[in-house]
Structure 1
Amino acid sequence: MSSRGIADKVAIVGMGCTQFGELWDRSTDDLLIDAVGEALGSAGVDRDDVDAFWLGTLGSGQSGLTLSRPLGIDYRPVTRVENYCATGSEAFRNACYAVASGAYDRVMAVGVEKLKDSGFSGLLRTDPPDDGTAPELSLTAPAAFSLLDPAYCTRYGVHPDQMREAMTHIAWKNHRNGALNPKAQFRAEVSREKIEAAPKVAGRLGVFDCSGVSDGAAAAMIVRAEDALDYTDRPIYVKALSLAAGPMRGGVDPAFDFTSFPEVVHSAADAYAQAGIADPRRDISLAEVHDCFTPTEIVLMEDLGFTDRGQAWKDVLAGEFDASGRLPVNIDGGLKSFGHPVGASGLRMLYEAWLQLRGEAGARQLSDPHTALTHNLGGRPGGCVSFVSVVGNELGIRG
């Protein structure tokens, strides 16, 4: 799978992101107003100067009216999109292509989710009727992703205690990163002992192996690359956007063994081809990946080409993906610590890339980052959508 891509044709010139968390006193409208307002302010653009909007939300509103009403947008195109947990990234992808096509000069991608006022504990969604050939849909998300753990151990001969140690390190790392993030849902370091002693949710997944359920919104202002310096002296250029939707055969395919997401492999390969990245381990400065559960992040390190097959658990324990490691992953805390308001998560990842590549990440700022990868996963093992973006603070790829 490959596409021509739009490398260096569009740029992000402003971003905004709300606090993530249990925001009982903030409505969907409040979150949208805050995120959009911050993005407009950072780009120096008035709301009425935005030609079109793309809004991503899984269940916090229907149609473009969800955005146009609270923002008071008069008669502009507002497109509402949804693609499971890749919803925010889908809004961004569509907005970028609209500018690259020449249809619009200035567009905005927005993502929002309000999960804490639904009357339901967790992710509220309704699956359409099916023919019964997708058994994974009958499992809860923790149950489905818990299968990655024993499957990985079996395939690569990893002792369960070693895998448990690696999963614990992921949770410890991401909470430690999130403790430095003023907008994160959970802003406290958690000891390894506490992580391992936590009550179990599914399989060997404990409470600290699972991402948070939260409210939040994020937004990005997008223009043509050649116009970017009219808005900011530090734009972020889009190098690659790739989305892959799987055939959803994992539940009935004997070859599927829960140790890889084929959709991620395909979308990553496409993104690297678009961006001209020959070696992601060398060419990428930081990555924000979809750590919905701790074993997911371990598998993703291999699917994204950050390490060899069967090696991720060792590299995790060696600190390769820590803030001080060779490739920092989820430096803002990830889904695990920053939180996971579904429609906003993909844009939240880009928000961290925006801060890091502009040198504005504060206490968690990395030294001279130039290229960032973001990754979203929507669905379950065996049937999902995967999004990968690559962005950078220079035109071209700096090796």
Structure 2
Amino acid sequence: MSSHGIKDRVAIVGMGCTRFGERWELSTADMLVEAASAAYASAGVAKDDVDAYWLGTLGSGSSGMLLSSALKLDYKPVTRVENFCATGSEAFRNACYAVASGAYDVAMAIGVEKLKDSGYSGLVGAAPPSDGTGGTLSAPARFSMLAPAYAAKYDVARADVKRAMTRVAYKNHFNGARNERAQFQAEVPEERIANATPVAGDLGIFDCSGVSDGAAAAIIVRAEDAHHYTDDPLYVKALAFAAGPGSGPIDPHYDYTTFEEVVRSSRDAYAQAGITSPADELMMAEVHDCFTPTELVLMEDLGFSARGTACRDTMDGRFALDGALPVNPDGGLKSFGHPIGASGLRMLFECWLQLRGEAPAGRRIAERGKRYGLTHNLGGAPGECVSFVSVVGAERG
């Protein structure tokens, strides 16, 4: 059974996104102001027109005061949320539900992270006390386990899986090189990617997403009011979220070739949106390519490739900019960067550009009669994660 959903009940009417990267020159407040200001301008509203705010951040602030003080809000409700790497998506999900419920007319979802100032090379924050059964490996080490497991299960040569991983990184750097907001804006030859310094297992440096600073924001209103703000709103077709039981590290049946949370959340999202064949009906997808083998597995969990065929489909160019289903046309986490609180909203920003025909010519996707965009975030690790899937469209109904 899927969620009841809120299909076509709310719409995005304005968005803003900063450049991601090592933004030493900006504070967290500066980035919030930049993203929010761009969203206000995009929707043609003033900050006082927004009734309530949802702020997503993992470690750059501890309450809604982070946003209210940065924007100098006039005693508006600000809710701070966190859900691992799906934090930005969680802010969006909650803002959409608030408007759909009738509680507010206009809401903003905004996410920010200032990772480079934390002093850590990866995620911020310490793990809470546990019973000791959870994984103790680094994030690259945990996700590196996907590649050999996939090769073994589907009888694919490990070298062929590595070549597909390299192609994922090449594709996403190719796309990011055409994105002025991306952290890494240069193409990287496949040979260099394949021979890069090892990090964990079959993962090299170029198989890992960027650690960055950034912010992104969206303004949400009721669908029937959308055209008061813009001629080209995006309508929310589906919002799906799944949190797993977290048993992967101690479950002898878990084989590291799938994220069941992604399977469940995507199935729910497709039911809400009325999508029966995602590979044929989606114009584009933004997925959580935290590591290159993650993207390969996601192609199958999201229903874009049949089981055991994601490597072949990737090598055949199915998910390239000019492929049948472009994946991460903005460069993804790999090239755009991954400031935790902003990533989910950054994915929606790319849907905003592509579905409205505003993406730069160098990476603009041909419509081909398809008008849906998908975003996917996961947070956690293989076998113990949360997963979010949204579907948005340029037309209501």
Query: How does the TM-score come out when normalised to structure 2?
Result: 0.99
Residue in 1 that maps onto 2:351 = 353
Take 2:344 and 2:121, find their aligned partners in 1: how far apart are those partners? 22
- Give the drift of 1:370: 1.1
Is 1:129 aligned with 2:134? no
Is 1:384 aligned with 2:385? yes
Take 1:39 and 1:65, find their aligned partners in 2: how far apart are those partners? 20
Take 1:355 and 1:315, find their aligned partners in 2: how far apart are those partners? 26
Residue in 2 that maps onto 1:256 = 254
Residue in 2 that maps onto 1:204 = 202
Runs of 5+ unmatched residues, structure 2:
none
Q: Which amino acid aligns with 1:270?
A: D
Is 1:164 aligned with 2:141? no
- Give the drift of 1:307: 0.9
- Give the drift of 1:121: 2.0
Identity of aligned residues (%): 67
Residue in 1 that maps onto 2:332 = 334
Which of 160, 172, 182 matches 2:180?
182
Residue in 2 that maps onto 1:147 = 145
| Dislocated runs of 4+, deviation >6 Å | none
Q: Which amino acid aligns with 1:367?
A: A
The answer to whether the 8 Å contact 2:86/2:377 transfers is yes
Take 1:122 and 1:242, find their aligned partners in 2: how far apart are those partners? 27
- Give the drift of 1:254: 1.1
Take 1:13 and 1:372, find their aligned partners in 2: how far apart are those partners? 16
Q: Which amino acid aligns with 1:126?
A: A
The SS at the match of 2:250 is: coil
Residue in 2 that maps onto 1:56 = 56
The SS at the match of 1:11 is: strand
Q: Deviations over 1:329-355 (max 9, x none)?
A: 000000000000000000000000000
- Give the drift of 1:367: 1.5
Q: Which amino acid aligns with 1:377?
A: L
Take 2:119 and 2:9, find their aligned partners in 1: how far apart are those partners? 43
Take 1:285 and 1:25, find their aligned partners in 2: how far apart are those partners? 36
Q: Which amino acid aligns with 2:207?
A: D
Residue in 2 that maps onto 1:11 = 11
Runs of 5+ unmatched residues, structure 1:
none
The SS at the match of 1:285 is: strand
Take 1:78 and 1:255, find their aligned partners in 2: how far apart are those partners? 42
The SS at the match of 1:305 is: coil
Residue in 2 that maps onto 1:308 = 306
Which residues of 2 match residues 165-314 of structure 1 at below 5 A?
Answer: 165-314=163-312
Take 2:125 and 2:379, find their aligned partners in 1: how far apart are those partners? 13
Q: Deviations over 1:342-391 (max 9, x none)?
A: 00000000000000001000121111251100000100001000000000
The answer to whether the 8 Å contact 2:21/2:182 transfers is yes
- Give the drift of 1:119: 1.7
Take 1:119 and 1:255, find their aligned partners in 2: how far apart are those partners? 37
Q: Which amino acid aligns with 2:376?
A: H
Take 2:366 and 2:146, find their aligned partners in 1: how far apart are those partners? 34
Q: Deviations over 1:245-273 (max 9, x none)?
A: 00000111111000000000000000000
The SS at the match of 1:201 is: strand
The SS at the match of 2:242 is: strand
Take 1:329 and 1:237, find their aligned partners in 2: how far apart are those partners? 20
- Give the drift of 1:299: 0.1
Q: Which amino acid aligns with 1:52?
A: A
Q: Deviations over 1:89-134 (max 9, x none)?
A: 0000000000000000000000000001112222222111000122
Take 1:276 and 1:13, find their aligned partners in 2: how far apart are those partners? 23
Q: Deviations over 1:10-67 (max 9, x none)?
A: 0000000000000011100000000000000000000001000000000000110000
The answer to whether the 8 Å contact 2:58/2:124 transfers is no
Take 1:209 and 1:187, find their aligned partners in 2: how far apart are those partners? 16
Take 1:118 and 1:153, find their aligned partners in 2: how far apart are those partners? 36
Q: Which amino acid aligns with 1:44?
A: G
Alignment length, in residue pairs?
394
Take 1:235 and 1:315, find their aligned partners in 2: how far apart are those partners? 32
The SS at the match of 1:251 is: helix
Q: Which amino acid aligns with 2:364?
A: Q
